[in-house]
Amino acid sequence: MSPETIPHPSPNSGPRRDGLTPHLIVLHYTAMESAEAALARLCDPEAEVSAHYLIAGNGQVFQMVAEDQRAWHAGVGQWAGQDDINSRSIGIELDNRGDHPFSEPLMHSLEALLRQIMPRWDIGEAGVIGHSDMAPGRKADPGPHFDWVRLARQGLAAPAGVDAGPIDPRPETFRSLARDAGFTSDVDDATLLAAVRLRYRPYATGPLCAEDYTPLGHTALWT
């Protein structure tokens, strides 16, 4: 059963540019102490930020911006070679500080909401991304505690790639594979590695290693 959506309009929105329609869904965490505080900020004209939806820790869903309008949630960034992500996406804020797991009621409501939005706009699993995916180095949300695997198992986010065989494990090869997966922002190697890990290996540390190639669909054979 889908949760009730509570209207809570934000003035921080406008028309999508160049006739664009959503083909991405960008997930964020609020990084605030409560859903009420986040809702107030996302609806404050002086803050100049918003999102289409906010999901509270108790599972309540608030809609601030109509889906056919442009919310101000993504900022500067790029995904799959495209910029102006605000005009190309629907933004969902999740009530979470970024330092703890996401609640079960929140995740249940997110899954239900994704099942509504994705067919409505013909958005496939590869179109559900994190803020950190399209703004590496600048943003870290929804962060290491977000359960991407859970969404992927339900077809609500892209799974890790299927092994397509061994490759030469050079940094430029990793960059090429990451670009193919959508990570096209112009960042240095360390920032790119951190962004890919945040999505697929959130607790990995150290330099680039063979395991970093696996979610991108290849086995790296180190010599």
Is there a contact between 13 and 73 (Cβ–Cβ < 8 Å)? no
48 is catalytic: no
Q: Which residue has the tokens 């190639």?
A: 213
Cα–Cα distance for residue pair 126/182, rounded to 1 Å: 9
What distances in angstroms separate CA 73 from CA 13, 29, 33, 80, 119, one per listed residue?
Answer: 10, 11, 19, 18, 22
DSSP state of 29: E
All residues at 6 or more sequence positions from 6 whose CB lies less than 8 Å from its CB, including other chains: 60, 61, 62, 63
Catalytic residue (one of 4, 46, 67, 93): 93
Q: Which residues are catalytic?
A: 93
